[in-house]
Every structure is written in C-alpha cells, then in structure tokens.
A and B are shown apart, each in its own frame.
Chain A
Amino acid sequence: MKDIIDHLKKRFPVYEIGEGPNGVIFMSVEAAKLVPMLTSLKANHGYGILVILSAVDWLEEYKFQLTYIVNNPEEKSDLGIRVFIKREDATMDSVHRLWEHAATFQREIKEMFGINFPGSPRVDEPFLLEGWDNLPPMRRDFDTKQYSEDTYFPRPGRETNDPAEYMKQKLYPDE
C-alpha cells in the first residue's frame, strides 16, 4: 500500500492523503489530472473496479466534491480520490470509456446536482424525475420542505415537534 502512494505522489499532483476508519485511503487531486491518473491506476496497478462515483455539495466553501472510489480485487484494497470543482457551470471529464457503468452514475449526478459530463451516453435525458424544471434537487440551496408544502397539499394538523426541544422543556426547563 505504501509504495503505490509513493508512486502516485511522484507522477501526479496529489495532496491531503489520509486513511479513513475502514482502511480506505483518501487523497485529493487536481481536476485536470484525474482521468490520466485513473487510467494509469486501471491499466498498470490493477484497480479494475469502480465502486462508486459520488458528489458532495460544500455550499459554504463554494465548491463541489466528486469522489471516485476504485478497488483492486486481487489485493483487496480501496482507494478514494477526491476532486474539487467550482459550482457555476460545473463540468468534469467523463470516465465512461474506462468503466461502462459509470454512465449511470454520471446521469444521476447531472440530474441531481447539475454537473455536466460531456460525451457520456444518454446524459441529457431525464433519469429519475419527469417534468422537472426547478433547481437540481440535491443542491443545498434547494429547500425540499418548502417545495413539498407548496406543490403537494399537506394535511392540516401536522406540527413539527423536535424531540430534543420537547425533552429539554420537560426535564430541564431552567437551562
């Protein structure tokens, strides 16, 4: 495990290398060097399985994080690679030529977050939602409770009782 990280450090600009609690090693890399790095991992070091391609929205820091987790079935090790891109007009290169099922992940991320992957098959068609013309739903600035109250008719009489507040009132009303 150590030598692969040294090997990657020499050839690609990786930073922020850390080990997660389950033995997965996460590292960050610049967006332009991602696809060469993944190609080299797949061809030369045997990381032939893409486990998941996920996106996280850091609204307060004005960026999106894309996480690619690849797996080596012979040595049974996982590597997580993070990429940060900006929030306006977000695009990223597509990896569907390396792994075919990445096309599904990319379709969903395009629909839910608005990150475009030009060239991926069927990426412009709606995947899960039909007739949607609002913000991409998984972004942090889309308020789902407000949207649900406006469009669907909530049954009257429902109030939100936060259990923490209720317990605090009953048990420790003075604090």
Chain B
Amino acid sequence: MSDKQQNQEDKFLAPENRKHTVIGPEGEEIHVDPLNDYFCQDLPKVEAPYKGVLEKFLNWARSESLWVLAYGTGCGSIELPPLFSPRFDAYRFGVMMRPTPRQSGVLIISGYLAVKTLKRVIRSYEQMQNPKYVIALGSCTINGGMYWDSYNTINRLDHYLPVDVYIAGCMPRPEAILSGFNKLKERIKSGNAEGANEYVENLEWYRTNQKKVIKDWNMPPYNW
C-alpha cells in the first residue's frame, strides 16, 4: 500500500502492535511484526455447495437448527429477550442463543452500528464458521434510519457485510422477528442463502469499504 495510507494506519496503532524488537531469554534480539507474525495470513476460499438430494438434506438440517450469536449491537436488542421467553417461544423453532461466534450460525445485527462496534462485528463474523447467515433488524440497517446524518453510524449495512434477510420496523415486534426467521428458512431451503460465499468472492470490495470507515485497522487480512 502507498506510504500515505501506511502512515495513516500507523497513527492509530497501539505501540505493542507496531514492529519492535524483543530481547529473548539468552539476550538475542528478535524482530517482531505482530500483525504479520502472530496471525495466519491466508485468505479463505469459496466453498461450492453439493448437488442434488444431499444438498437438499443438508439445507433442511441447517435451516431447522439456527444458533444465534447473542450480541446485542444496538437498540433493537431489547426485543430479543422477550423472543426467548415463554410467550413468543423461539426455542420450538430450533433457535438458540450462543455466547461465542465459533458455535453460532446466524448473526443478528439489531439496529444501528457505530464505527467502533462495526470493527468488533466484522471480527465476530469472520470468526464464525461456514455455513453462516446475517439477519439485519430495523430500519437503521436499510438506509440509516433516524441516525442518517450522524457522524458515527453507518448507513447501509450491505456495503460492509453480506445480508440475507432484512426485517423492517423500529423496532420489529417479536412476531415480526419470528416471521423473519421463517423467511430465512425458506431462503436456505431453496439454496439461495449464499452470503458467506459472496463475502469471500468480493472480499476486496468489502475490505475497501470497511477500511474507508474504520481508520484504526489493527486486524490481520482475515480474522480466522
């Protein structure tokens, strides 16, 4: 990358993430570049779906047990605890909340995203394993909502993450979220929910958009 970009990225980098030398136990000097040395530098590959009855069976299995990452990113997450309470029970549809990205298949972006949270959401999304889907809740993800002229919230989510289903409302009722899950299931069963593959194919475009907004990028090329 050009020198100007490098300087701008280095301005916000914490001292322990820059290149420095470490003295080993026997006095030798080791040159360390944390962002390159500590993380895997490979980029992911596109996983083509299987064909025929096997894929139909796998799609049915994926759609009937959607595990959600319990990350309430914005104000829409006030309607998520009632969704898992006995009145609007979402457990009966196979939907469960998991605390870590490694065990979940669906990421619910509930509302607006400040730039600081966007960085953490990108990290969580890339750490999730295939197959993975994104549901966008609320009108702030569609066109910015009521914070359209704010200096700290993003306007269009699909320029930063691949979205499968949008649920409109401010905020959507739990019944609306359940019907959104139904729509996601239909999309998976018909074979159209390829958000993860789209992300990998157009990684350049997504990364340019993300780096335009997140000025202190201290993450490796892909967060495995």
Contact = CB atoms under 8 A, between A and B. Distances in A.
Contacts of A153: 155-156, 159, 209
Interface residues of B, number: 24
B103 to A, nearest CB: 28
Contact of B216 (A131, A144, A147, A148): A131
Interface stretch (B143-151, B166-174, B177-185, B195-203): B143-151
A155 B151 contact: no
A67 B213 CA distance: 34
A154 interface: yes
Given A151-B213, A152-B213, A155-B142, A130 B155 contact: no
Contact of B12 (A131, A142, A154): A131
A133 B152 CA distance: 13
Contact of B143 (A142, A145, A155): A155
A131 B215 contact: yes
Interface in A123-175: 129-133, 137, 142, 144-145, 147-148, 151-155, 158
Contact of B144 (A130, A132, A142, A154): A154
B11 interface: yes
Nearest to A144: B151
B4 interface: no
Contacts of B214: 131
Interface residues of A, number: 17
B116 interface: yes
A132 to B, nearest CB: 8
A148 B156 contact: no
Contacts of A145: 149
B63 to A, nearest CB: 29
A148 B155 contact: yes
Contacts of A129: 115-116, 152
A152 B154 contact: yes
Interface string A14-54: 00000000000000000000000000000000000000000
B216 A155 contact: no
Interface of B: 11-12, 115-116, 119, 142-144, 148-156, 159, 209, 212-216
14 contacts: A130-B216, A131-B115, A131-B214, A132-B215, A144-B149, A145-B149, A148-B144, A148-B148, A148-B151, A152-B144, A152-B155, A154-B155, A154-B156, A158-B148
